Amino acid sequence: MTVAAIVPAAGASVRMGRPKLLIEFDGLPLIAKVVAALVEADVAPVIVVAPPPDAPEGPPVAEAARGAGAHVIAPAIRPAAMRDSIELGVRELGRLDPPPDGVLIVPADGVKIEAATVARLVAAWRERPARIAVPTCEGRRGHPPLLPWPLARAILDLPPDVGVNRLLADHADEVDAIPVDDDSVLFDLDTPDDLRALGVRTVRLFAVARERAGRPEVEVSLPCPATVGDLRRALADQHPALATLAASVRIAVDDEYADDAAPLSPDARLALIPPVSGGGR
């Protein structure tokens, strides 16, 4: 029984204030991480509905998804709502012959989604493939739901102003709760606070550091708690272009030079400070 996935990834990240699917975790853009977990769990095809090609984040999101093994659709106009993106994915799957037996609807910001959790969900669904499988953790329902194909197709027939949750509500008696030992199924990445909760920090870059990275700031995933020394190692691992600088230049925490043992509070402002132009007196 084949299981495909639709990853609606065309949103504008309004609450995050920047394209969240390009935020890097362990050196990989979020969208690539999500796709990779699905591919690893033998889900195929993975349809990613990307932002339009003329949106600044469109081409990099599409490229990252494709690189991780997704089949990418990039509509010319940004879908108005997630449900519209999902519809595009359903139509794409409908062109397959045969269509998949089941469809995972995967939020593109399922940051910590793990292949093992997806595999467990799929295995449970295969035992009762006419039903809907929804992962639960600590008694709460999470993402992603797995729908039998006929029900996924029914998304196309929903009234225009309702979302997929309505479908799940309408078919509540067909839902199987699948307990998983993975609280990431409950997590949504919407705001900068959500990011901090994941140990992802932004590091500002200047001068040669900005030039080498090709951008004014980078994300790093850090252990919790973390020190300046941890930040150096994480930068070097996750951003090889900065490896030599990360090992040698000063690091500022909250606008103050900090030594390697200094702890990083969750909301500390971080920056790499290459040697300043001092030099010849």
Partner 1 sequence: MVEITESPLDHAALTERVRHANAGAVCTFLGTVREMTGERRTVHLDYEAYPEMAAKKLDELEAEARRRWPLIEVALAHRVGKLELGDVSVVVAVSCPHRGDSFEACRWLIDTLKEVVPIWKRERWADGREEWIHPGLEGR
Q: Which stretch binds partner 1 (CB under 8 A): 9-17, 28-36, 90-98, 252-260?
A: 252-260
Complete DSSP assignment for 158-208: S-TT--HHHHHHHTGGGEEEEE-S-GGGG----SHHHHHHTTEEEEE--HH
215 makes contact with partner 1 (CB under 8 A): no
- The dihedrals phi and psi of 92, each to the nearest 5 degrees, come to -65, -45
Closer CB to partner 1, residue 225 or residue 257?
Answer: 257
262 makes contact with partner 1 (CB under 8 A): no
Q: What angle do CA 13, 26, 64 make, to 5 degrees?
A: 55
Q: Which stretch binds partner 1 (CB under 8 A): 29-37, 95-103, 224-232, 273-281?
A: 273-281
Which of the 8 DSSP states describes residue 99? P
Dist CA 152 CA 145 (whole Å): 11
Number of residues binding to partner 1, judged by CB under 8 A: 23
Dist CA 275 CA 253 (whole Å): 16
214 makes contact with partner 1 (CB under 8 A): no
Dist CA 84 CA 106 (whole Å): 14
Dist CA 30 CA 46 (whole Å): 15
Residues 160-199, mask of contacts with partner 1 (x by CB under 8 A):
----------------------------------------
Dist CA 222 CA 64 (whole Å): 22
Q: Which stretch binds partner 1 (CB under 8 A): 90-98, 108-116, 149-157, 204-212?
A: 204-212
CB atoms under 10 Å from CB of 23, counted, come to 24
Closer CB to partner 1, residue 91 or residue 269?
Answer: 269
Q: CB 217 → partner 1: shortest distance, Å? A: 12
Q: CB 191 → partner 1: shortest distance, Å? A: 23
Position among 96, 181, 240, 257 found at the interface with partner 1 (CB under 8 A): 257
Q: Which stretch binds partner 1 (CB under 8 A): 85-93, 138-146, 191-199, 205-213?
A: 205-213
For the purposes of burial, counting CB atoms within 10 Å of the CB of 29, is it exposed (0-12), middle (13-18) or buried (19 or more)?
Answer: buried
217 makes contact with partner 1 (CB under 8 A): no
The residues binding partner 1 (CB under 8 A) are: 204, 206-208, 211, 244-245, 248-249, 252, 255-257, 269, 271, 273-279, 281
